[in-house]
């Protein structure tokens, strides 16, 4: 009887992968294939139309894009700080002074602000390129540029909405539990994914000559 009871207790303590987290990772795998197709368009265009590539890349504002990229990369760090707070089951600021006492909500609000600045920066860059004579209908390079960066901007916007939902849920529940912490972790998976995708996009679009 003792052996059976011990076995039953051990079986109950086995930690199984969270289905939401696993599902998110699988879905992000399909998103990798989607962006791989967009990257293939760029590499094909570079090999078939090198003159057009060279001409259009001269219009790109590399310093501005680098600053915008740094903002998005910084948002990954603030997002992870929010996850650490959620894992401590700390949704809000504690009595500690400064950012060391911030909870998940404060860190996610900062991440949201940085992500919004990034998207706004992309919109500003689009306006500048259109003013310089490169609308989406200008040529194949313009179409590839706007489609690739535009789809990424939509993914970032989706992440911003997810942050608001997680923050709203933290305010709605009476007790912040591991269920709410898991939601924040899943959103961080997605956010880190769009950050990594943009870093690769940035290198391909702005530095590949």
Separation CA 178–CA 182 (nearest Å) = 6
Half-sphere exposure of 84 (CA within 13 A, CB side): 12
Burial of 182 per CB tally in 10 Å (0-12, 13-18, 19+): middle
Q: Which has more pLDDT, 19 or 139?
A: 139
Considering the domain boundaries, does residue 4 fall inside one? Answer: no
**CATH (domain of 176):** 1.20.120.80
Domain count for the chain: 1
Helix extents (H) in the chain: 2-12, 19-48, 50-57, 62-87, 104-131, 140-172, 178-202
Separation CA 55–CA 171 (nearest Å) = 51
Separation CA 13–CA 104 (nearest Å) = 28
Task: Answer whether residue 59 shows pLDDT above 70.
Answer: yes
Separation CA 11–CA 61 (nearest Å) = 58
DSSP 25: H
Considering the domain boundaries, does residue 90 fall inside one? Answer: yes
- Of 64-78, 172-186, 188-202, which range is least confident? 172-186
Separation CA 119–CA 136 (nearest Å) = 18
pLDDT digits (tens, 9 = 90+) for 4-16: 444 344 344 445 5
Considering the domain boundaries, does residue 110 fall inside one? Answer: yes
Q: State the average pLDDT for the chain.
A: 83
Considering the domain boundaries, does residue 201 fall inside one? Answer: yes
Considering the domain boundaries, does residue 143 fall inside one? Answer: yes
Domain that holds residue 110: 18-207
Query: For the whole model, what pTM was predicted?
Result: 0.82
Share of the chain above pLDDT 90, in %: 38
Considering the domain boundaries, does residue 25 fall inside one? Answer: yes
10-19: burial string, b at 16+ Cβ within 10 Å, e else:
eeeeeeeeee
Considering the domain boundaries, does residue 10 fall inside one? Answer: no
């Amino acid at each position: 009887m003792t052996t059976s009871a011990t076995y039953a207790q051990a079986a109950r303590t086995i930690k199984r992968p969270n289905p939401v987290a696993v599902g998110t990772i699988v879905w992000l795998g399909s998103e990798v294939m989607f962006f791989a197709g967009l990257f293939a368009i760029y590499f094909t265009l570079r090999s078939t139309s090198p003159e057009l590539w060279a001409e259009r890349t001269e219009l790109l504002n590399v310093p501005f894009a680098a600053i915008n990229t740094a903002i998005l990369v910084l948002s990954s760090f603030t997002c992870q700080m929010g996850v650490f707070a959620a894992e401590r089951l700390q949704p809000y600021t504690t009595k500690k002074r400064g950012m060391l006492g911030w909870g998940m909500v404060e860190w996610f609000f900062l991440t949201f602000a940085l992500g919004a600045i990034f998207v706004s920066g992309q919109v500003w860059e689009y306006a500048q390129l259109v003013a310089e004579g490169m609308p989406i209908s200008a040529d194949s390079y313009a179409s590839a540029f706007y489609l690739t960066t535009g789809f990424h901007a939509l993914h970032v916007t989706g992440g911003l909405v997810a942050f608001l939902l997680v923050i709203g849920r933290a305010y709605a529940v009476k007790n912040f539990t591991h269920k709410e912490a898991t939601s924040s972790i899943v959103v961080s998976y997605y956010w880190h994914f769009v950050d990594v995708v943009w870093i690769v996009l940035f290198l391909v679009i702005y530095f590949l000559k």
